[in-house]
Amino acid sequence: MKGIFIFFYLSIFLVLFLRETESAQLQSNGIYIVYMGASVSSKGNPRNDHDQLLSSFMKRKKNAVIHSYSNGFAGFAAYLTEDEAKSIAQRPGVVSVFPDPVLQLHTTHSWDFLRYQTAVEVDSKPRSTSDSFSNGTDTIIGILDTGIWPESESFSDEDMGPIPSRWKGTCMEGHDFTSLSCNRKLIGARYYEEPGSSNTGASGTPRDKNGHGTHVASTAAGIPVKGASYYGLAEGTAKGGSPGSRIAMYRVCTPDGCRGSDILKAVDDAIADGIDVLSMSLGASAALEQEFSVDPIAIGAFHAVEKGIIVVCSAGNDGPDSGTAVNIAPWILTVAATTIDRDFESDVVLGGNKVIKGGGINFADIQKSPVYPLIYGSSAKPIHTLDDSEARNCNPGSFQDDQVKGKIILCESKDDDYSAENKFESLKKQGAIGMILINDNERAVASSFGSSPVAVVTEEDGAQILSYINSTRNPVATILPTVVVPKYKPAPVVPYFSSRGPSFSTQNLLKPDIAAPGVAIVAAWPGNDTKVVVSGKGPPLYYVLSGTSMACPHVSGVAATVKSLHPSWTPSAIKSAIMTSAIQTNNLEAPITTNSGSKATPYDIGAGEVRTPGPLQPGLVYETEITDYLQYLCYTGYNITKINQIASSLPANFSCPTESDSDSISNMNYPSIAISNLKQKETKKVIRTVTNVDQDESIYTALVDAPSGVEVEVEPNKLQFTKNSKKVTYQVTFRQTSSAKEDMFGSITWTNGKYKVRSPFVVAISNDSQ
């Protein structure tokens, strides 16, 4: 675990502080989760079968039960043998029994950038604390993460009113954490772990020993803090998206990961505690591909949404490959990551004072003039090395000391065997002065190298440096300390790491849903963390992190603000408001692009980049009912018996269609549209219903942006709303008119002149049409 908090390591795996393989994720240490669905019967009575099964089991195995779930859903987690698990799975009332999986953890200026992007004037003067509390006042954001550092100024309760009376939670005491650690801002804190846990560094307390949870919590709901910075870089007023919201922290993650059984217990508690928004910056790896009955996040989120709680989750950090997004259940608001208009620049100066604009964060104190010998890793390879790839990548053990001592080394980054930190630590021990790393992807992510003279350059700039080395008898260079470049363009950009659609389970549901800032976000940090200290300085109170983990709380903060202004809105209405008001252009007034320069598609950013004011007045919303989600389960293979166990209540006439397939998912009343397997000349239709949440009398007209090769017809193309007609249904017909080689994207926008309500769509082609 050495070096786990160093930012470059985090930027490579983007705050996945464990590199869990699929097999490791499934390792349960003998713990199984017994999921029994709703905590009440279809008639609203407590589940007797849950109590009976749990009581019977505890009589046989007294200390085997880890958690019991009974607030939002029924079940328990316990030490079981494989045979016991199989036997319990056959018991009446049991939906599934599965090994306890270990899941992963997947700011300041970012909020101003979002406001700037949406053409809203930003006051350059810091807002007063009291003014900021108008956003999200008295909503409660529950956060499942690594814990919290309560002493951070971001969690001060100055000028906050009494804790909402509906709050039923607690502030658990633990090691170095008392009931006084909570206040009117941080109103609750819990922690979860196995009995006899050996994680002494994080056990027995809600206190954050990692930093991730503190960072996430302050991004979502931190109060404004003037003069916040990372050792002077990116200085400004740090503030969360919903500074008036209350925070409830549920520490479910330790250095060993985030156990599914703990996640379920935390969600169960959060439902009973009375939260409004549930924010989870964690999930499985893309390789795991968990379906509903064995996915703790999907299970917990479903029951939270049943209780009126909106659930926001990160999409994962397994990009840029397609089909890597996780947390893709339709009742979850799934968030991808984007950049903001700020660059951390660490320049390389070559002989002749030629400047190459590098990236990354370093506070190096070396000569500003190019006086240090510069060599290419490959040219320093030992004679006995047959394959020079090790030397080109500067992997540890590739060089003799005298080959690199006193020099700056130009290194490639073509493999994942070693992090940049590992490479430079090895070079530093051999006497090297600094390192220049060639990597297009990492150039766009501000990795922190502390006091080390390290810079990251693009392949194009790396080729320039190599050309200089080859054309000069005595090449020299230096690496300058980092400066911040404001108003950087283009932004936003989708970083390489952000997980992409389409959904691995079905192409008839578009995921991710939305994108938000997730690169080089400055937010609160534990005040005693010496692992990220720059030489000669104290621990930073604010730190820089990247990942969809950072994007998720941005959306959670927006959701809390919408909830505070529209307390009666359902989770799906809030999700719809956020999605249909998103933007698709950057600060060059051009389409948002990916890190490779290609135009971003809904597989990259969902509906687009989240806006801050737009969701507050969306005009129309798509309300996805719980019955829509239950039909989704029907379409994915669940029968009515299982669904009756899962749902807390079913309409009297609810049934699974006798004949259905995944194509039926396209008809779920969702804010986006996904059509799969469309063949040439074939026609497919979907139905949507919108609800007017603005003025009584209004007429909306449809604007269709269709790609070449697909004919899209909306009927009717005008929607009229009256005082007595708040809901209107329309139909969309898709017809492929010519052959296509890849999936196609477009949008349908309803406008009344005041609002634009936009739904992206994807048409996934059939293999037969290629």
Counting other chains too, the contacts that 380-385 makes at CB distance below 8 Å and 24 or more residues apart are: 380/404, 380/409
Q: Which residues contact 470 (CB under 8 A, 6 or more apart)?
A: none
3-state DSSP call for residue 488?
coil
What is the DSSP pairing of strand 483-486 with strand 493-494? Answer: unpaired
CB 440 within 8 A of CB 595: yes
Sheet holding 514-517, edge to edge: 186-191, 246-251, 140-145, 277-280, 310-314, 332-338, 514-517
Burial class (CB in 10 A: 0-12, 13-18, 19+), 323: middle
- Structural contact between residues 406 and 380, judged by C-beta atoms closer than 8 angstroms: no
CB of 294 closer than 8 Å to CB of 98: yes
Rounded-to-integer distance, Cα 575 and Cα 334, Å: 10
Which candidate in 212, 215, 303, 554 is catalytic?
212
C-alpha 439/C-alpha 677 separation (Å) is: 37
Query: 10 Å Cβ neighbour count for 706?
Result: 18
Euclidean distance between CA atoms 256 and 92, whole angstroms = 34
Q: How far apart are CA 590 and CA 521, in angstroms?
A: 23
Concerning whether 96 is annotated as a catalytic residue, the answer is no
> 211 near 525, Cβ under 8 Å?
yes
- Give catalytic status of residue 212 as yes or no: yes
- In order, the DSSP letters of 343-410 are EEE--EEEGGGEEE--BSB----S-SSS-EEEEEGGGG--TT-S-THHHHTT-TTSS-HHHHTT-EEE
Q: Is residue 442 classed as helix, strand or coil in its secondary structure?
A: helix
Spatial distance between the Cα atoms of 11 and 25, rounded to a whole number of angstroms? 21
Q: In whole angstroms, what is the distance from residue 38 CA to residue 47 CA?
A: 8
Annotated catalytic residue, options 100, 112, 138, 145:
145
Rounded-to-integer distance, Cα 716 and Cα 730, Å: 6
| Dihedral over alpha carbons 157, 558, 298, 337 (to 10 degrees) | -110
The three-state secondary structure class of 700 is strand
How many residues comprise the chain? Answer: 770
The span from the CA of 618 to the CA of 233, in Å, is 36
The single residue of 154, 398, 549, 672 carrying the catalytic annotation is 549
Is 448 assigned a catalytic role? no
Q: Just list the catalytic residues.
A: 145, 212, 549
